[in-house]
Amino acid sequence: MKKDKIKFIKSTGDVYYNLSEWNCSTNPLLYVIGLSGSGKTTLILSLKKKYNVCCISLDALRFYNSSSKESQVIVDCFAKLYPEITKDILCEWNSSKGFLKNEKLFTYYVRLFNDYLFEYATKNKITIIVEGIQPFVRLPMKCLINKPRIIKGTSSIQSFLNALKRDNPKSIRNIIFRFIRYSIVHFFRLNLYLSYWQQQEKNHQKRQSTR
Q: Could you read off the pLDDT of 162-176 as tens digits, one per residue? A: 999 998 888 999 999
* Verdict on whether the full-model pTM lies above 0.75: yes
On whether the CB atoms of residues 42 and 172 are closer than 8 A, the answer is no
Name the nearest CA neighbour of 160 among 4, 11, 13, 5: 11
> CA angle, 58 as apex, 54 and 63 as ends, to 5°?
110
| 82 torsion bin: left (phi>0), alpha (psi -120 to 50), beta (else) | beta
- 2 pLDDT band, cuts 50/70/90, is low
What count of residues does the chain have? 211
- 71 pLDDT band, cuts 50/70/90, is very high
Q: Check residues 206 and 123 and name the one with the higher pLDDT.
A: 123
Q: Please report which residue ranges of 52-185 form alpha helices under DSSP H.
A: 69-81, 86-90, 99-124, 134-137, 156-167, 172-178
Name the nearest CA neighbour of 114 among 35, 29, 45: 29
- 161 pLDDT band, cuts 50/70/90, is very high
Query: Within 13 A of 85's CA, how many CA atoms are on the CB side?
Result: 25
